[in-house]
Structure 1
Amino acid sequence: MPKTCEYFFAPQSPFAYLGHARFVALAKAHGARVELRPCDIGKVFSVTGGLPLAQRAPQRQAYRLAELKRWSSFLQLPLNLQPKYFPVPSDTAAKLIIACQLAHGTDTALALTGAIMQAVWVDEKNIADGDTLVGLACLMDLDGKQLLKSSETPSVQAEYERHTDAAIAAGVFGAPWFVVDGEGYWGQDRLDFVDRALTK
């Protein structure tokens, strides 16, 4: 029987961007059901002891850049190490993804997630800007204006908060984070373990 994988992430995470396409491919290969959970990573950090990037020690900031460069080269994925619009608030983008999932299903929402992540890390776009998000959705032949409107409703806000609460309850402290059979896996570099967990 196909398994379920909870996928916790923040749309602005570079490591989520680096792992997104690979995760989508392996979930599809296993026929796994993906529970898409964009969440408020700032709130998660505040509960779990994480720090916003600007508040981290210089050594940690430097190593993060080295890792991003290393993984970008290894995976042959383009990535601007210091994009124009980063750090960037991601609530609006996260809620657009939720609205998309509710209206069009998980597969379409996963595709939109990938487009939003690429917008930050490759295309130098501001994903906190509503018009930018509408444009990204329209490129996928979606009604971007309607999705943005839907994303501003109380029901979508409640879903966003529910995902964030679920992340905290699951022990999430970073992104991306995957949960299979109740076991958590942090980071795009743990996808081999996710692969094996979906095989069991």
Structure 2
Amino acid sequence: MQGFCDYYMVCTSPWTYLGHARLIAMANAHHISVRIKPINLGQIFVESGGLPLAKRAPQRQAYRLVELERWRSFSGLPLNIHPKFFPADDRLAARCVIAVQRREGAARALALAGALLQSVWAEEGNIADESHLRELMQGLGLSVDEVLADAVSDTVHALYEENTQEALEAKVFGAPWYVFEGIPYWGQDRLDFLERAFAASESRAA
């Protein structure tokens, strides 16, 4: 691999869902490692002045729906504009992603994150429900009991907090947020710029 991209994400973000598969494809094409870092976005909002969706002005909420419709059409991805289980408490799901990364590496963690995002935004899944988390992880062939035990450990809880603190120090204020070669990119609509940076890095390394 030529370099790495830090990927600050939450498992309930539609924008993270819309960009997730493309980020992985881009990184693979340009030999970039992705370091997935689930974060507590609620804490990020508190520290950075952001607001959760329910507290945003009506016009902002309305425009968000316009953008979701637009991106659904553009991306071709299945997307429920009003998913049944959103918002949802994604903290256990996030810690499962961290646990899988610790146990089995980034590729498997990215696969789980993708399954979680798809569950929320395309399959009406409740990722706050441990039984549903079990089903998703079983479908990926993960060692479910071991992952869940790790996910509730003090070690993984500390890593989740560390990711969030690191994000704050990196001036993250939303998700998805990518950092490559020290440069931040906020949102899946910045992936074109990130891909150009990946390509430039690959060319320099050739």
TM-score, length-scaled by structure 2: 0.95
Matches within 5 A, 1:106-125: 106-125=106-125
Structure 1 CA distance for aligned equivalents of residues 145 and 73 of structure 2: 36
Structure 1: 5+ residue runs without aligned partners?
none
For each residue in 1:81-103, what CA deviation from the matched residue of structure 2 results, as whole angstroms up to 9, or x when unmatched? 01110011111110000001111
Secondary structure in structure 1 of the residue aligned to 2:34: strand
For 1:140, the equivalent position in structure 2 comes to: 140
Secondary structure in structure 1 of the residue aligned to 2:184: strand
AA partner of residue 143 (structure 1): S
Percent identity over the alignment?
50
Structure 2 CA distance for aligned equivalents of residues 194 and 148 of structure 1: 33
Q: CA deviation at 1:145?
A: 2.3
Structure 1 CA distance for aligned equivalents of residues 40 and 30 of structure 2: 28
1:191 maps to 2:172: no
For each residue in 1:2-49, what CA deviation from the matched residue of structure 2 results, as whole angstroms up to 9, or x when unmatched? 121000011100000000000000011111111111000000000001
Structure 2 CA distance for aligned equivalents of residues 171 and 30 of structure 1: 26
1:33 maps to 2:30: no
Q: CA deviation at 1:112?
A: 0.6
For 1:173, the equivalent position in structure 2 comes to: 173
Structure 2 CA distance for aligned equivalents of residues 125 and 148 of structure 1: 18
Secondary structure in structure 2 of the residue aligned to 1:6: strand
TM-score, length-scaled by structure 1: 0.98
AA partner of residue 51 (structure 1): L
Q: How many residues align?
A: 200
Structure 2 CA distance for aligned equivalents of residues 40 and 91 of structure 1: 7
AA partner of residue 59 (structure 1): Q
Runs of 4+ in 1 over 4 A off after TM superposition: none
Q: Does the aligned pair in 2 maintain the 1:4–1:35 contact within 8 Å? A: yes
Structure 2: 5+ residue runs without aligned partners?
201-206
1:54 maps to 2:59: no
Q: Does the aligned pair in 2 maintain the 1:136–1:144 contact within 8 Å? A: no
